Chain A
Amino acid sequence: MSDGLNRSSRETAAPILKVDVLSLSFGGLRALSGVSFEVQEGSITALIGPNGAGKTSMFNSISGFYRPTKGRIIFEGEDISRERPPARAKRGLARTFQNIALFRGMTVLDNIKLGRHAHLKTNVLDALFYRGRAHREEMELRAEVEERIIDFLEIQHIRHAPVAALPYGLQKRVELARALAMRPRILMLDEPVAGMNREETEDMARFILDVKEEWGITILMVEHDMGMVMDISDHVVVLNFGQVIAQGRPADVQNDPAVVSAYLGSGDLAQRIRKTEAA
């Protein structure tokens, strides 16, 4: 496939995101210790590991929820470790959440529009009168959301629905839509297909691939569905007990003995993958 091409460009280009010897502890509990990895521009990188390995802690450190105790996070060549979450969002770090974090009191459309917040300029005075900039910005945003995002994710039929009433799979899709509205450079997906059936998973995998190919957005995801991880990712980073135990191409990681023992204690990860694929 295009794997060879990706490999060659990966060696020359600077990474879009670099996590540099990052440590995070809560009191005496060490959630992450000395984690380093890179995310190449234009790739799909998956962060996997057993429960409690520190995947979500890693995500939360990158998006700015948690302050790492040690280490740096470098985004497009700049150290963002000290920045507040809104500043990181404005740079183009967008994410979705494991337990969907949509705003229940708003419609689908408003949730998506909210993603653009940091890039809009309307101030309170414009807003009160809804003239000039406020009106113009809203109309431009609406057109873009409709034509680029809602069409792309096939959610036209629910645009005016309150999000609280939507089924789980659609809520996940709306969350992706909102992240896309943030003008992301890198999209961080926290378990995008958790709890989905086969068909929904395949839809989501297709959307993720399209986001990468058509929008040129780099993707970093945490996912437990090994079948999907191995199918669509270019690079896999395996965490266990807050440390990177392996990283590389999906095929290499699958057969890494450290990964296999982390997942199963013993046994064959490839077999487990075949099992999930058959299911």
Chain B
Amino acid sequence: MRIGTIKLSYATDEALFDTRVQWVWLGLLALGLMIFPFVAGPYWVYLACLVAINVASATGLNILTGYTGLVSLGQAAFMGVGAYTVAVLETRVGTPFFINLLLAGGMTAAVGVVFGIPSLRVKGLYLAIATIAASMILHFVFAHWPLTGGTRGLSMPPAGFLGIALDQPQKLYWLIIPVTALMVLGAANLFRTRVGRAFIAVRDRDISAEVLGIPLLQTKLTSFALSSFYAGVAGGMWAYFFRVVTPESFPLINSIFYLAAIIVGGMGTILGGILGATFMTLVPEILKLVVGWITPWMPDALSLLAPIRTIVFGALIVGFLIFEPQGLAEIWQRIRRFFHLWPFRT
């Protein structure tokens, strides 16, 4: 239960985490994340890294689609740009990983801006088609440019940090989790300032936003650049994680996966990107567990896994769109409100 919160300055009123209880929970979460790789098995650490990479990318897409209202089906291809940038830098130049990740983000942001130019003229479904075209073009470039190694792709050495090769998920965990945390925090900060407000204004009413002094093209391209930067860094981490980058690593279905993640999580909320990406990454794992349990009774259950997964994904998206259009983030808020009011109103 929560009796009330008193705030004595504007700064505390605008803080991201405004109560001590929230800070305690946050501290516990950080502690949990630090202990996690020591107590969990390698497979769970592997999954945690995958979740974090997807959270980073979904947060990026949320900036563009959830907050700015520009539907994009190019997020996976943009991740590909980041992954290839890292792979090329790692194999040909050998710069340290944090520089590679930043350059991957920068490179992808530049590519994103170019493919974002149509967004001034086309919106909604039409923009989605334009971004599919972008994915096709990028896929073609990955598969045919000598620098990207053609259809065989590129293999790369592990990231090195102070002479330690980060070749296992348990080691990469310490790179991926902090980077993702920083990216999510950055996105949350964005929407406390004029930059983020302009994005939301463009989403809600683009024409009156212009009269209020918000230049449309510049704002939309900034959103594309930021979103692609996130995709690029996420793709870079992905490259360090799998260490093989091929044109087939970033198919269109992955872009749909990220879109689904933010729909399920909650568009236009930071929490939505986190919850959605986590949930959608873990759904196949839960299905695998279920299949494992029912194998004794249904010996061919494993062969059904792939189609069932597709069906469950589709059902989840449709279900959330109909019953919970605000996504998991809204469910979370409801749970919070319940405990804030408990036991006075239940």
Contacts and interface: CB of A to CB of B under 8 A. Distances in A.
A103 B205 contact: yes
Contacts of B195: 122-124, 127
A143 interface: yes
A97 B203 contact: no
Contact of A65 (B14, B187, B204, B207): B207
B48 interface: no
B204 A106 contact: yes
B211 to A, nearest CB: 5
A84 to B, nearest CB: 7
Interface stretch (B30-38, B212-220, B241-249): B212-220
Contacts of A110: 197, 200
Interface residues of A, number: 42
Interface residues of B, number: 33
A141 B3 CA distance: 29
B10 interface: yes
Interface string A77-97: 000000011100110000101
B194 interface: yes
A89 B212 contact: yes
Interface in A81-138: 84-86, 89-90, 95, 97, 101, 103-106, 110, 113-120, 122-124, 126-130, 134-135, 137-138
Nearest to B215: A86
Task: Point out which of A95, A118, A182 has the most chain B C-beta atoms below 10 A from its C-beta.
Answer: A118
B186 interface: yes
A192 interface: no
Can you list the 8 inter-chain pairs with the closest CB atoms, starting with the nearest? A118-B213, A89-B213, A101-B208, A128-B186, A130-B189, A103-B204, A127-B193, A127-B195
Given A103-B201, A105-B203, 20 more contacts: A85-B210, A89-B213, A104-B204, A105-B200, A106-B197, A110-B197, A110-B200, A116-B194, A117-B194, A118-B212, A118-B214, A122-B195, A124-B195, A127-B194, A128-B186, A128-B189, A130-B192, A134-B192, A142-B14, A143-B10
Interface of B: 10-11, 13-14, 186-187, 189-190, 192-198, 200-201, 203-205, 207-215, 222, 225-226, 268
